Structure 1
Amino acid sequence: MYHDLKEVYWWNNMKRNIAEYVAQCSNFQQGKAEHQRPGDLAQTMDIPIWKWEAINMDFNTGLPFSFKRYDSIWVIIDWLMKSAHFLPVKSSSTSKEYAKIYVREVTDGQAECTIQTLKDMLR
């Protein structure tokens, strides 16, 4: 507070007056660390070894219908590669249909890429 005020104002014993005011301020006292509950211990997360081993998924629904009658976007994010797929889907699809879309759009391309990488490494 002193550094902010000294740019605009100045008076005798300014620094001491500000320190005394802040020490008596109830808002400041409530915000002090000793009045706050300590935070929980940090939890470590296992780092995935393979692409698409650990993913997050989300649906953005309620969109206007597209030409192919899609009304949602399925977002699939890979934790390891920080890559994402944004897939147009229908909100009326079943879980089996979503599984087929996942295999077709995400894992098929990844499997081909992984096989090619392994072949290149073995040469």
Structure 2
Amino acid sequence: MYRELREVYWWNGMKKDIKGYVAKCPNCQQVKAEHLRPGGLSQDIEIPTWKWEDVIMDFIVGSPRTRRQHDSIWVIVDRMTKSAHFIPVKVSFSAEDYAKLYIKEILKLNGVPLSIISDRGPYQILKCIGKVTYELDLPNELALVHLVFHVSMLKKCIGDPVSIMPLEGLGVD
């Protein structure tokens, strides 16, 4: 923002004033441009030609346990029709459990897909860096993902007091 404005305007302490304004502006915080290296050449994802030939799967974890002790949801989505199956699972399931469940719930209804896209690990923890910081061994497909997450990677946001909601007023449904 400073570079664009300095071409047209200038005053003493301009950079400091703009920095303070941007830090307090909620819109500026939400649309702030990232300064990361480019992700490389874009790769086209082929458009599916038939339903259930390309599927995407992911997991919703951290849910409360059900009566049958399920604590996660396995989401399987057809890329063409966007129809989805939501299957209750347990975090402790093995790959064999998932394979049996896939055959029972998906394969018998939709047939064998040509491709399955998933970012699911498990990823080996290379080293524990802090209480909640780990270095992971990620596959080549996730090469652009940073191996380590640390609190220092979070961005400072000076919020507008009007838009801040006190925690006491929040309830969980």
TM-score normalised by structure 1 residue count: 0.55
State the 1:64 CA deviation: 1.2
Per the TM alignment, residue 89 of structure 1 is displaced from its structure 2 partner at its CA by 0.4
Does 2:62 correspond to 1:62? yes
Corresponding residue for 1:14? none
Letter in 1 for 2:51: K
Kindly state the Cα deviation for residue 106 of structure 1 after the two structures are TM-superposed: 0.9
**Alpha-carbon shift at residue 41 of structure 1 (Å):** 7.0
- Say how many residue pairs are matched: 82
Give the Å deviation of 1:55: 1.5
Q: Which residue of 2 aligns with 1:24?
A: 8
Alpha-carbon distance in structure 2 between the residues aligned to 1:92 and 1:51: 31
Aligned to 2:15: none
Q: What's the Cα RMSD here?
A: 2.8
Matches within 5 A, 1:23-62: 24-25=8-9, 43-62=43-62
Q: Distance in 2 between matches of 1:72 and 1:60?
A: 6
- In the alignment, the residues of structure 1 paired with residue 45 and residue 96 of structure 2 have an alpha-carbon distance, to the nearest angstrom, of 30
Choose between structure 1 and 2 for higher RCO, CA contacts under 8 A separated by at least 6 residues.
2
* Larger Rg over CA atoms: 1
Q: CA deviation at 1:44?
A: 3.0
Higher helix share: 1
TM-score computed with the length of structure 2 as normaliser: 0.40
Stretches of structure 1 lacking an aligned partner (at least 5 in a row):
1-20, 28-37, 112-123
How is 1:101-112 mapped onto 2 (pairs within 5 angstroms)? Answer: 101-111=101-111
Closer, same or farther: CA 92–42 of 1 in aligned 2, 3 Å: closer
Q: Structure 1: which amino acid aligns with 2:8?
A: Q
Alignment of 1:74 onto 2:89? no
